[in-house]
Amino acid sequence: MNKRKIEGIIWFVVGFILVLLMANKSSMLSDNVGENIFALILSGITLFFGKMTWFIAIGSMIYGIIIFFYEKIEFHITQGKIVALIGLFLSWSMILIRGSVVKGNPLANTFTEAGRKLLEIGFNRESGGIPGALLSMPFYSVLHLKIMLIGLIVLVIAFLGWLVKDMIELGYELLKEVMKYYKSDDYKEKKRKLAAKKYAENLKKTDYKRYQREMLKAKIIQSRNEKLSFEIAKKPKDNFLQKTEVYSKEELAEKEKEWIELFEEKEKEKQSNLQNMKKNSNEQKNDVKESELKLENIVKPSENVKSSETVEEQNEKTADSEKFEDKKEETEENKKIEKKVEIKEKAEKEDKREPKLEIVTPLRREMINSAQMDPNFQEFPKLEAFENPEVVEKGFEEELKKVNAMFDNNKGYDDVVKKSISEIFKSKPMDLKKKEQIEKSIRENVSHLENVLKEFGVEAKVVNYEYGPTITRYEIIIPKGVKVSKVTGLSDDIAMNLAAESIRIEAPIPGKNTIGIETPNKIKEPVHFSNIIKNKELDSGELKVILGKDIVGRDKFIDIAKMPHLLIAGQTGSGKSVAVNTLISTLISKKSENEVKFIMVDPKMVELMPYNDIPHLLVPVIIDPHQAAIALKWAVNEMENRYKKLMENGVRNIKSYNGLSYVEKMPYIVIIIDELADLMMVASGSVEESIARIAQKARAVGIHLVVATQRPSTDVITGMIKANLPSRISFALRSQVDSRTILDSAGAEKLLGQGDMLLLANGTSKLQRIQGAYISDEEVRNLTDTLKSAKKVKYRNEILEEIEDETIDIDPFFENAVNIAKQEEKISISMLQRKLKIGFNRASRIYDQLKEHGIINYDNQLIGDNIDEID
């Protein structure tokens, strides 16, 4: 806690104590004041200040709160503010004194008597205190008037306004700026984006709910379908204790045929019964009609007689009609009984059939699937019978439209890559049991390490340890008088006693008084690219890429724009190619083709070929060393052209240039060379010169080199290349000599392989040990396929065309350069600079002209015949 906070606490506590004392004033002052220190303090303060003690207490608390919470605010206490504060205090004190005078303490007409009365009022603890009483004496004759009260109130307001003037001005300016911002286009645009975001989120929730409903319906239908299929395949049981069995595929096919035949016979019989019933009904109707006709014939001859029916005829007619009705009711009842009988007969027939003894016990789903493959089974209800084909087809068309719209709009990263990245790179959490085993192993190693050092006469103590995915670093302290070299000389003995593949000792750890002993973990934690790619830290920086995790398990990133060029070395199987893939995959996942472009050189023709045809490429992956030399020359020319653009626009670097609103944005260019040794074998002079020129100047214009090799010898990594590539990464190497070639120090020969690396960043001499992230071939393929589908690549084939310009004038120093070559029997750019006293660029142009005229070849060897011809 700093000094300002302590000061604020003190002011607040003092004010708070005064408030508590004032709140309990009556009880405290009624006791014996001399026996209570707080009562004594309260009595003294209130005797002098009266009710203004509240003013002092509350003001102290407010001041303390402001200092505590706003410690960075510096209060400029001017003379005017001090005067205003004192004036506010005295004005309020006079108001309280006047109140006491008006309430019943009138003043005398003489100054002496009035002054005595005012002092009496001032010493009263319920008044405004002595300061207000003393100040009121000159105004004793007008103190009781209202005009005096108004004047004092005006003074209070004026003094208070002066104290908070700065705050009022700040509030006004803030309000003005806020209103201005609310009216700005930027605020309206952000409000529109926020509304669009909420709409999209609501739409997504709605779509997800719809999807859940569809899935629920599908599951219900599927469950019903499986239940029906199982019921069909289930054998009948003699009793409820019998185990449920199902028909085999052959049995089920036979049974289906039997059931279908039985069902068809029943349907035929049913149709036959219906026809017979209709026939009988028609016959009965005909009989009734005949009887009616007979009655009519009997009645007609006796027209003169009363047309009335005898009692017998009426009974006959009634009996016939009742007979017909009974038959009709009997036929309907027969239908119901007949159905029940048929069902019962069918069940009895099924039960009487002797079941076969074969017991079928396949898995339920396999049984149903095998049953459904039978062609006869298709006549029974399936899933299609419960679905609406129109709904399914409509849903499929909508999904197809969404997919087509996504790719037809050609929105690149925002709609394709960034939405698919969570699907391409799925998180792979670590097994918690494995983590517990690692921690247990580390605790055991702590005691082993101390015992080993003690056996060799070093009373060391492990004071701390930090473990990462691959290695654990133990920090030890050695007694005074023991040489550090004694511990470093025990590296092999420590490795043997800890049963470690190899150990690395960092003595001492930079910035600490401890020695670091790095040992490999017995149980290694894999570092997955898919877990790190979602880290939000990658969104910052210009060209930030993933390396892996450091020795304490933190995600490790580097920004190529700050490196600004990178040299990577490692023997076969050390993880060098995976690191190059990780670097490329990070950039193409986070940056669009308008932000970064690549030139990839892969003489081995296997490592970088999956990236062919991604939209970030300027040219197809180069496999020919001669074309690689041409591409590097183009990069040099592009660098010079970019510098001209920066000069014309008055800016210093690519970031400032891209910040201009009236220019076309300039993409970063990253040149990846997977195997430098193959290029140096074919065109060492041209390649070395181009790499040197790019490395020296190209940082400001956004052109960066990433050079990898598995043979870090001095003929591959020359002094010029090494001097211009300050940032280096070394994986496991064969010898200490190779390690010194890359890192200028030993250590890489003790690395474990499989992504274990040492990073030497630009501007530092400290090596950082890192476990490289792993990205699988499948993840690379999915990522590149997504990019290729999102946007078609547009190659710039002119980059690989070697332009021979015969109109270029010969440099005036050309003949001098030829003479130097004849005299020295060798030539180089640095020699031309020294002998001719010219700059690098001009010496480089003369050197190129010597090559063009056949004075030297691409291996920097003199061609004697051509020198003689020039003479």
Specify the higher pLDDT residue, 116 or 29.
Answer: 116
Q: What's the CA gap between 326 and 784, in Å, rounded?
A: 85
Chain-centre distance for alpha carbon 497: 43
678 with 603: CB under 8 angstroms?
Answer: yes
Q: Residues 418, 447: one domain?
A: no
What Cα–Cα distance (Å) separates residue 719 from each residue in 713, 725, 762?
Answer: 11, 10, 17
Q: What is the mean pLDDT of residues 382-403?
A: 49
Total number of domains constituting the chain: 6
Q: Which of 5-9, 181-185, 409-413, 798-802 has the lowest mean pLDDT?
A: 409-413
Order of strands, edge to edge, in the sheet holding 555-559? 555-559, 544-550, 767-772, 756-760, 727-730, 566-569, 703-709, 668-673, 596-601
DSSP line for 90-113: HHHHHHHHHHHHHHH-PPPSSHHH
CATH number assigned to the domain comprising residue 828? 1.10.10.10
Each residue's pLDDT tens digit, 129-149: 788 788 888 887 777 788 888
The pLDDT of residue 853 is 80
Percent of the chain with pLDDT over 70: 79
- Single out the residue in 119, 140, 171 at which a domain terminates: 171
In a domain? residue 507: yes
Report whether pLDDT(868) > 80.
no
Tokens of residue 767, six digits: 């090596």
Q: Residues 515, 591: one domain?
A: no
Q: Residues 585, 506: one domain?
A: no
Examine residue 564 and say whether the peptide bond preceding it is cis (omega within 30 degrees of 0): yes
Each residue's pLDDT tens digit, 577-626: 999 999 999 999 888 889 999 999 998 888 899 999 999 999 999 998 88
Percent of the chain with pLDDT over 90: 12
User: Please, what is the Cα angle at 410 between 782 and 393, to 5 degrees?
Assistant: 80
Measured in residues, the chain has a length of 871
- Single out the residue in 457, 487, 520 at which a domain terminates: 520
Q: What's the CA gap between 86 and 156, in Å, rounded?
A: 11
Q: Residues 738, 634: one domain?
A: yes
Report whether pLDDT(359) > 50.
no
Q: Would you tell me the crossing angle of helices 165-182 and 185-233 to the nearest 10 degrees?
A: 60
In a domain? residue 207: no
In a domain? residue 756: yes
162 pLDDT band, cuts 50/70/90, is confident
Q: Residues 352, 410: one domain?
A: no
Specify the higher pLDDT residue, 275 or 805.
Answer: 275
In a domain? residue 180: no
Report whether pLDDT(403) > 50.
no
Q: Which of 334-338, 491-495, 532-536, 675-679 has the lowest mean pLDDT?
A: 334-338
- Look at the block and give the residue holding tokens 């499948």: 778
* 3-state SS, residue 526: coil
Report whether pLDDT(402) > 70.
no
The torsion defined by the Cα of 132, 133, 138 and 144, in degrees rounded to 10, comes to 90
Each residue's pLDDT tens digit, 679-722: 887 777 778 888 888 988 899 999 999 999 988 887 788 878 88
Q: Residues 650, 739: one domain?
A: yes
CATH number assigned to the domain comprising residue 717? 3.40.50.300
Q: Would you tell me the crossing angle of helices 676-697 and 625-649 to the nearest 10 degrees?
A: 10
Each residue's pLDDT tens digit, 514-537: 888 888 888 788 888 988 888 888
Examine residue 812 and say whether the peptide bond preceding it is cis (omega within 30 degrees of 0): no
107 with 140: CB under 8 angstroms?
Answer: yes
Q: What's the CA gap between 821 and 864, in Å, rounded?
A: 10
Q: What's the CA gap between 782 and 774, in Å, rounded?
A: 15
In a domain? residue 848: yes
Q: Which residues contact 484 (CB under 8 A, 6 or more apart)?
A: 478, 507, 508, 515
The pLDDT of residue 386 is 39
In a domain? residue 711: yes
Alpha helices, H only, 698-809: 719-724, 736-743, 777-790
Q: Which amino acid is at 670?
A: V
* 3-state SS, residue 810: coil
Q: Residues 353, 441: one domain?
A: no
Q: Which residues contact 578 (CB under 8 A, 6 or more apart)?
A: 755, 772, 774, 775
Each residue's pLDDT tens digit, 15-25: 888 888 777 76
Report whether pLDDT(376) > 70.
no
Q: Residues 717, 834: one domain?
A: no
The pLDDT of residue 728 is 92
Q: What's the CA gap between 712 and 690, in Å, rounded?
A: 19
The number of beta carbons lying within 10 Å of the beta carbon of residue 561 is: 18
Each residue's pLDDT tens digit, 254-306: 888 888 888 888 888 888 888 888 777 777 777 767 766 766 665 444 444 44
Q: Which amino acid is at 58?
A: I
Each residue's pLDDT tens digit, 205-243: 777 777 778 888 888 888 788 778 878 887 776 655 556
Q: Residues 345, 493: one domain?
A: no
In a domain? residue 482: yes
Q: What are phi and psi of 823, to 5 degrees?
A: -70, -45
Tokens of residue 181, six digits: 């911002």
Q: Which residues contact 407 (CB under 8 A, 6 or more apart)?
A: 416, 789, 790
In a domain? residue 541: no
Q: Which of 356-360, 550-554, 590-594 has the lowest mean pLDDT?
A: 356-360
Chain-centre distance for alpha carbon 127: 67
- Look at the block and give the residue holding tokens 């005096």: 148
Query: What domain range includes position 621?
Result: 564-788
* 3-state SS, residue 388: coil
597 with 660: CB under 8 angstroms?
Answer: no
Q: Which of 115-124, 307-316, 469-478, 690-699 has the lowest mean pLDDT?
A: 307-316
Q: Residues 32, 154: one domain?
A: yes
Tokens of residue 158, six digits: 């004026």
The pLDDT of residue 380 is 39
Q: What is the mean pLDDT of residues 790-800?
A: 87
Q: What's the chain's average pLDDT?
A: 77
Q: What's the CA gap between 417 and 404, in Å, rounded?
A: 15
Q: Which residues contact 70 (CB under 8 A, 6 or more apart)?
A: none
The pLDDT of residue 73 is 55
Q: What's the CA gap between 703 and 596, in Å, rounded?
A: 10
Q: Which of 107-111, 559-563, 688-692 has the lowest mean pLDDT?
A: 107-111
What Cα–Cα distance (Å) separates residue 10 from each residue in 19, 22, 62, 677?
Answer: 14, 18, 12, 72
* 3-state SS, residue 730: strand
307 pLDDT band, cuts 50/70/90, is very low
CATH number assigned to the domain comprising residue 494? 3.30.980.40
Q: Residues 512, 625: one domain?
A: no
Q: Residues 600, 707: one domain?
A: yes
